[in-house]
Amino acid sequence: MVKPFVFAALLAGSAIGTPMPQATGVPTPTTLMSGAYWIRGVAAPNYHKYLQTKPANVPGTAILDSHTTAGQFAIESGQLVNKASNPPLYMWVEEPADKANPPRTLATWFNTTKSPFGTFAWSGDTLTWSVPSVKRQNLGAWLVCAKQALFVNTGAYAYQTPSGCADQTIHYYNDKTANN
Ligand SMILES: *[C@@H]1O[C@H](CO)[C@@H](O)[C@H](O)[C@H]1NC(C)=O
């Protein structure tokens, strides 16, 4: 069984408050670091496709892709953090201009600074994202669209799926290696 982890000790030495460091592409360790999770799809067409960036572990669009380049993540104070990158990278969600009538998809990406918009949480092993200003039917509904890019689905899961996208929920996995 999977257990929650505590990150207070790891956070103590983080780079918060220092000038933005230069991000470098670090190969993902092939084994899971203590306190981190893989995050992956578990249904077609993204069965065992893992959350990451391309190149791996540098700022960029959040995608679901090969197990060989998977990022390693933790939720810390509502932020989704890639622990395999140096510096750590935080997942951001696009903030729509009209929050009462948001677009169907909100883009996601990783940046070196904390996201100012929304909160990540686990619901069981499912990754959710929420913000009070945007009403969503299903906080665990994601869409994977062109070039494997991951989006928040502001509509219903598996209903009027936008063309070129696939409905997915994404889940943590904590075996030592990311498998195919
Ligand atoms: C990354 O974070 C910096 C500092 O918060 C911000 O100015 C910049 O707009 C962000 N870039 C993206 C693409 O999120």
The verdict on residue 32 lying in a domain is no
H or E element, residue 24: none
List the residue whose alpha carbon is closest to atom 1 of ligand 1. Answer: 111
Within a 10 A sphere around the Cβ of 135, how many other Cβ atoms? Answer: 11
The verdict on residue 30 lying in a domain is no
Domain of residue 103, residue span: 50-173
| Percentage, residues of the chain above pLDDT 90 | 83
111 lines ligand 1 (CB under 6 A): yes
Distance 114 CA to ligand 1 centre (A): 9
Q: What is the pTM of this model?
A: 0.85
The verdict on residue 109 lying in a domain is yes
pLDDT tens for residues 69-88? Answer: 999 999 999 999 999 999 99
How many structural domains comprise the chain?
1
Nearest to 39 by CA among 72, 66, 69, 63: 72
Nearest to 48 by CA among 62, 66, 31, 30: 66
Residue 22's pLDDT is 46
